[in-house]
Structure 1
Amino acid sequence: MNETAVDYEAIFQCLPGMVALLTPDLVYVDANEDFQRLSGRPREELVGRYLFDVFPDNPNDTTATGMRNLHASLLRVVATGERDAMALQRYDVEDPPGEWSERYWSPVNAPVFGPDGKVALLVHRVEEVTELIRLRGGTGSNSRARVLEAELYTRARELQEVNERLRQSHAREREVALALQEAMLPPRRQVRTGRAAVRYRPAVGALNVCGDWYDVVDLVGGNRIGVSVGDVVGHGLGAAGVMGQLRSALSATLLVADGPAQALDVLGRYAHVVDGAESATVATTFIDFDARTVTYSSAGHPPPVLVHPEGRVEFLDQATDPPLDARPDPIPRPQAVTTYTSGATLALYTDGLVERRHEDIDTGLARLAESLVRHRTADPEHLADAVLTELLPPGGATDDTALIIVRL
């Protein structure tokens, strides 16, 4: 059977209900026929114009909140990449100029992602329910319509109050979790001056405090340090608490372990008795500055990246095993070693730096490698800042990010 090309433009125009496409800056890109007809705005009055220049709130109604609520919803979609269904809204429409008609709408806003995993467009779909509201009020029954309107506004205010209380509660939890998380992460002064840089960026959104962590430990014997990053499954205070337990346990274990694999063996057994530690991931390296070697082991974590002075990239992925507590009967974890020359750079990180929705992780890893190579001659502090600037979305990531840069 011959393949037939699908005319998506024609389908878009014929979609039932009002549908418009907006840029992340809330400028109209297109609008289907129902949107033009029911809004009373032809396409030429929409495309290329800012949403709220076309549809402002009724200046004669000081209680009007429809457009303000819509603005907040659209910005949430841009920031989180998640669909947002709004409560029933009243938007008065100016038609003809100077005259405002009472209208009721039920909007849903959804993201469209570009090749880079960022929100490229917004689908703004609206069902006009004005006639339904009027029918519910009874033909010719203005008093009944007003009663129904009052009920709708009451319910809307109640919903807004509940959402505000939830937002404040989540904000308090986020603040406490961040404080706990930062208190349990090692301060920068513990990192060797000029040789290493550490960065931690919390996720955007009140519910997205996660369990990412890092650690740098001076090892016993020789000119050596242990560098680790980890990620606990889950969000909020619980994840932050588990993160603190695992980081502290690994920090102590590194001081007595023969190598990173043995350290992760011990940590895995400890994770088995810690609620919430299931499936946590960790990457651990032992750096010997005299022998110029990096010995490493990973428990389900993205591989560290070693960038050699000439720009060659080596992903340390030859000793990767399942996450902590993934096996009912633990077996010794693998360990590998690689060499480097003076001036090489080692980067350890968590998945918030490289993972994006609707994008293969290999794309994120390649992006990280390119950034590290491009800025490899910069000092660790500037290199860390450059990597975060190039890899994290402008509005912040939806997952925590930890990053350690070590100049070898």
Structure 2
Amino acid sequence: MRDSGIDYEQVFRALPGSVALLRPDLVYVDANEAFCRMSGRTREQLVGRYLFDVFPDNPNDASATGMRNLELSLRRVVATGERDTMALQRYDVEYPDRPGEWDERYWSPVNVPVLGPDGSVVLLVHRVEEVTELIRAKGGREGDHAKVLEAELYTRARELQEVNERLRQAHAREREVALSLQAAMLPVPGPVGRSRVAVRYRPAVGALNVCGDWYDLAELPGGRLAVAVGDVVGHGLHAAGVMGQLRSALSAAVRVADGPAAALDALGLYARSVEGAESTTAVQVVVDYDSHTLTYSSAGHLPPALLHTDGSVEFLDQATDPPLGARPEHIPRPEAGTTFEEGGALVLYTDGLVERRREDIDTGLRRLADCLTRHGSADAERLADTVLAELLPRAGNSDDTAVVIVRF
């Protein structure tokens, strides 16, 4: 690849550091000359092969953990889209010309994601610094004392890895509980009002990232339908618990309040008494089938998308106010309305659908509008599946995503 006269492929080959490129499935795409020299493998022996087929753990060492630790790091980078600097690893390597004989090696790896246009991880940059000779030289100069220090360092690194693994397992258990709680509070709805409704909820990838997204549907007097989505700040079991309280409160408020703005007013007052509810965003829309109107109000949430029958998309952004609890004093929230046609669709969603790192939010909104325009003739269920398939990163998202589609 060339840009402004710079041959980046040659730059990659000449890098003094040992660097390899991996696909998300951990197959080698490329390796520079320094990496080949360090690993004792040619580029042809690496490219196209699975990482751990080339570098398995030493089968003669029952305590070997290098392969497992490296795989956990790489999988974590793929799942979260965030770089990971690993602790010092002992990872023995088989001599390429002496099968069955293994060389004791020490490495310091850093794994960095390369993101595609949709925010998903398309490549992994695997940079490795070898410190084997440093440790060996240290042992030669300082004798047994250096060997003791070396062993102590390695033991401490192993202990740290074990602690991290226990923490990961604890977070995984918390994630399972939070997901079960969310599933219990976010059931798939049956027939609602006069509309065909599809709902989707996709939890964030990674043990730490269960969030507090929710949706709610409520039938109101006069054949109207109330639709809401919201997003609690924070992660984990506590966020899921706060989500449940706020969802229930808004579902009750919209049944008795005079419109969506009044319902969010009541929710905002209630949120002040719920620890962790500050800065929650929510949007409430009321569908009136008799008048073919939508009335809506937003507490800092992303605007719902209204798909018209001509394929155009209107974002409902005329009644946006700060999130819950953001103002020191209570001020009535704004409310706005618009009309809809039979055959159109209303789409409510949380930020996991459209927000990406290092990308302006308008880009995500345009991506959503384009998807709705191209697939606007699909029924609610197919449209919901298509929206998730096109907009969510292939490797999963680091934020929860809730989507509600109402077909008129």
TM-score under structure 2 length normalisation: 0.90
Task: Show the counterpart of 1:325.
Answer: 325
- What amino acid is aligned across from residue 269 of structure 1 in structure 2? L
Task: Show the counterpart of 2:180.
Answer: 179
In the aligned structure 2, how far is the partner of 1:11 from the partner of 1:399?
A: 35
In the aligned structure 1, how far is the partner of 2:261 from the partner of 2:142?
A: 79
User: Cα 1:192–1:154, aligned 2, differ >3 Å: closer, same or farther?
Assistant: farther
What pairs with 1:2-401 in structure 2 (closer than 5 Å)? 8-9=8-9, 11-98=11-98, 99-139=101-141, 141=143, 147=148, 150-189=151-190, 191-192=192-193, 195-220=196-221, 222-401=222-401
User: Does the CA-based 8 Å contact 2:120-2:395 persist in structure 1?
Assistant: no
In the aligned structure 2, how far is the partner of 1:95 from the partner of 1:145?
A: 26
User: Does the CA-based 8 Å contact 1:194-1:380 persist in structure 2?
Assistant: no
Displacement, 1:153? 4.8
- What amino acid is aligned across from residue 171 of structure 1 in structure 2? A
Between 375-384 and 49-58, report the one with greater CA deviation: 49-58
User: Cα 1:210–1:183, aligned 2, differ >3 Å: closer, same or farther?
Assistant: same
- What amino acid is aligned across from residue 337 of structure 1 in structure 2? G
In the aligned structure 1, how far is the partner of 2:199 from the partner of 2:21?
A: 40
Between 275-284 and 168-177, report the one with greater CA deviation: 168-177
* Partner SS for 1:36: helix
- What amino acid is aligned across from residue 201 of structure 2 in structure 1? Y
Q: How many residues align?
A: 404
- What amino acid is aligned across from residue 231 of structure 1 in structure 2? D
- What amino acid is aligned across from residue 316 of structure 2 in structure 1? L
Between 288-297 and 190-199, report the one with greater CA deviation: 190-199
* Partner SS for 2:338: strand
In the aligned structure 1, how far is the partner of 2:22 from the partner of 2:119?
A: 17
The answer for unaligned runs of 5 or more in structure 2 is none
User: Cα 1:93–1:172, aligned 2, differ >3 Å: closer, same or farther?
Assistant: closer
Between 180-189 and 85-94, report the one with greater CA deviation: 180-189
In the aligned structure 1, how far is the partner of 2:234 from the partner of 2:192?
A: 28
Among the aligned pairs, what percent are the same residue?
72
Between 228-237 and 35-44, report the one with greater CA deviation: 35-44
- What amino acid is aligned across from residue 23 of structure 1 in structure 2? R
In the aligned structure 2, how far is the partner of 1:165 from the partner of 1:339?
A: 54
* Partner SS for 1:303: coil
The answer for unaligned runs of 5 or more in structure 1 is none
In the aligned structure 1, how far is the partner of 2:201 from the partner of 2:49?
A: 39
In the aligned structure 2, how far is the partner of 1:159 from the partner of 1:16?
A: 30
In the aligned structure 2, how far is the partner of 1:242 from the partner of 1:78?
A: 29
Displacement, 1:203? 1.1
In the aligned structure 1, how far is the partner of 2:54 from the partner of 2:181?
A: 46
* Partner SS for 1:311: coil
* Partner SS for 1:106: strand
- What amino acid is aligned across from residue 180 of structure 2 in structure 1? A
Between 383-392 and 150-159, report the one with greater CA deviation: 150-159
* Partner SS for 2:190: helix
